[in-house]
Amino acid sequence: MGNSKKRRCNRILIRKFGILVFSFCLLAALSISLGVSVKAEGHADPDVSYKYFKSIQVEAGDTLWSIAQEYCSEEYPSLDRYMRELVSMNHLENEYIQAGQYITVPYYSNDFVK
């Protein structure tokens, strides 16, 4: 009977040790995943640009060219390409705009807006 009791105690001890090891591994995995998600939320990648759109009112003296020069950025291959996008997205028949008219302009920013 002494041997049987000793084996039973050993099995209980091994089971408790297994539960302890499993709990430690689970806690470590949760800590690592939480740390990674907090780091990902806290630091935006400065090399990532987000495209946004803004409605502006055309003022006296504004031309599509001057607006394109103000809002065009390195994400566009050329100022001409940006102007074509302005004409297309605003459903303009040509490149002429008038004071008081509202147009939508695309722009890029490194800031992520939720």
Convert the pLDDT of each residue in 59-73 to its tens digit: 999 999 999 999 999
Has residue 42 got a pLDDT over 70? Answer: no
pLDDT at residue 31 in the model:
78
Which residues, at least 6 apart from 5, have a Cβ–Cβ distance to it below 8 Å? Answer: none
pLDDT, position 64: 94
Phi, psi at residue 50, to the nearest 5°? -110, 140
Q: Is the pLDDT of residue 83 over 90?
A: yes
- Which tokens hold the place of 44? 């935006």
Question: Looking at the predicted structure, is the pLDDT value of residue 38 above 80?
Answer: no
CATH 3.10.350.10 fits 50-109, yes or no: yes
Q: What is the mean pLDDT of the chain?
A: 86
Report the C-alpha gap between 95 and 59 in whole angstroms. 15
For 93, other C-beta atoms within 10 Å of its C-beta total 6
**What single DSSP character describes residue 94?**
S
What tokens does 111 get?
């800031």
What pTM value is reported for the model?
A: 0.58
Task: Dump pLDDT digits (tens) for 3-14.
Answer: 788 888 788 888
